[in-house]
Amino acid sequence: MNKFFWFFILLFVTGLIACSKEEMIMPFRAFEKPATFPEPSYRMSSNPITKDGFELGRKLFYERMLSSNNTISCGSCHIPTAAFTHHGHSVSHGINDLLGTRNSPPIMNLAWSTSFMWDGGIGDLDLQALAPITSHVEMDETVENVIQKLRNSSVYPALFQKAYGSSEISTTRFLKSISQFMLMCVSSNSRYDSVQRNPNSIFLNESEERGYTIFKAKCNSCHTEPLFTDQSFRNNGLNPSVRNDKGRYLVTLNPTDEYRFKVPSLRNLKYTAPYMHDGRFFTLDAVLSHYTSEVSQTPNLDPLLQSGTVLGIPLNNNEKADLLDFLETLNDRSFVTDSRFFEQ
């Protein structure tokens, strides 16, 4: 009883603060490394994040002039309420409704990413925007043209002036502004995170606790805490589709990389369906069924998915249910509802 009382008081106070926040001019919350996260991989000192830089980056992120016919922005396929994925789309439709070949990945915790895209073809966050802008099925534009359009616009020179002290719009400033926005998209407020920050709390129920134990035994070696990816490239035994996407091989040409894709984070799965590099699974049940009974022996199948002649990860139905309960604790509602990340 007492506990409930305090809980409601806390809720009430939180509500009050939230209300008053909206009335006030929100102070800029700078990039902060969550206490339980490692040091960022991105060279933070090469691109100091400022309020004006972040806001410019946000505007660019939702800027349709980035595409050749001014219809598609980054936000078209990376929707903030879907943890910046294209929720419900196996693959995305870009310019003129042309289809891509891979599932739009979330934009979250990229400061800790060592490579980008499903195949890791991009080695630096600052270079990431070049790919969708120039892709013929995404934005089909040149960055040169984009920068020209920004220079000719009535708003951008002033915004660059604000962010960088002069109105010059250079490739570096353009790309680094978008990086600033993406770097700020940190998701670290799931229930799992609360538990990590306060191990004495009782936020996990019994089923979630059991799921966590299963996770640590059977998933954590690839989907490593706290980012829930070890950033490696692995073949998880998906049957190649007609397209026969060979994944990381395309960027390394190394036969041992055939059919390997980047291990995705397990954070925010609630918002990021469908799953896998080609979005073939619409539900987490389908994903777990894949791991328990549908793993195929394809070239470079990850050794962790085979023991002797047995393929996949053994899980009974109770274990699956517990695991799904645990995965639920990795959803960060505050991240997908954070208005700082929305188009303004």
Partner 1 sequence: MKRLIFSSILFSLVLSSCKKEDVPDYNTNVKGPLSVEFDNVVGTTDLQLVTGNYTNASGESFKVTKLKYYVSNFSFTRLDGTIYTVPQDESYFLINEADASTHEAEFDLPEGEYKSVSFTLGVDSIRSTMDISMRTGVLDPTLDGGDMYWGWNSGYIFFKYEGTSPVSAMGDYLYHIGGFGGYSSATLNNIKKISLDLTARGTPKVKSGKLTNIHLFADLLKVFDGPSTVSIATHPMVMFDAYSATIANNYVRLFTHDHTEN
Please give the residue ranges that form the binding site for partner 1 (CB under 8 A).
Answer: 43, 46, 114-115, 117, 120-124, 126-127, 130-131, 133-135, 142-145, 147, 170-172, 175-176, 250-254, 257
Between 94 and 312, whose beta carbon lies closer to partner 1?
A: 94
DSSP string, 209-261: HHHHHHHHHHTTTTS-TTTT--S-EEB--PPP-TT---BTHHHH--GGGTTBE
Smallest distance from partner 1 to CB 115, Å:
6
| Rounded Cα gap, residues 125 and 175, in angstroms | 9
Smallest distance from partner 1 to CB 243, Å:
16
Smallest distance from partner 1 to CB 127, Å:
5
Helices 317-328 and 206-218, interaxial angle, to 10°? 100
Smallest distance from partner 1 to CB 244, Å:
16
Between 168 and 343, whose beta carbon lies closer to partner 1?
A: 168
Between 48 and 88, whose beta carbon lies closer to partner 1?
A: 48
Q: Which residues pair with 85 in a beta bridge?
A: 79
Q: Are 28 and 49 in contact (CB under 8 A)?
A: no
Smallest distance from partner 1 to CB 175, Å:
6
Between 134 and 167, whose beta carbon lies closer to partner 1?
A: 134
| Rounded Cα gap, residues 231 and 118, in angstroms | 10
Smallest distance from partner 1 to CB 131, Å:
4
Between 173 and 290, whose beta carbon lies closer to partner 1?
A: 173
The two tokens of residue 249 are 């091989």
Q: What are phi and psi of 131, to 5 degrees?
A: -70, -55
| Torsion region of 124: left, alpha or beta (phi above 0 gives left; psi -120 to 50 gives alpha) | beta
Task: Work out the end-to-end distance of the chain between its first and last CA atoms, rounded to an integer number of angstroms.
Answer: 43
Between 249 and 326, whose beta carbon lies closer to partner 1?
A: 249
Q: What are phi and psi of 234, to 5 degrees?
A: -140, 155
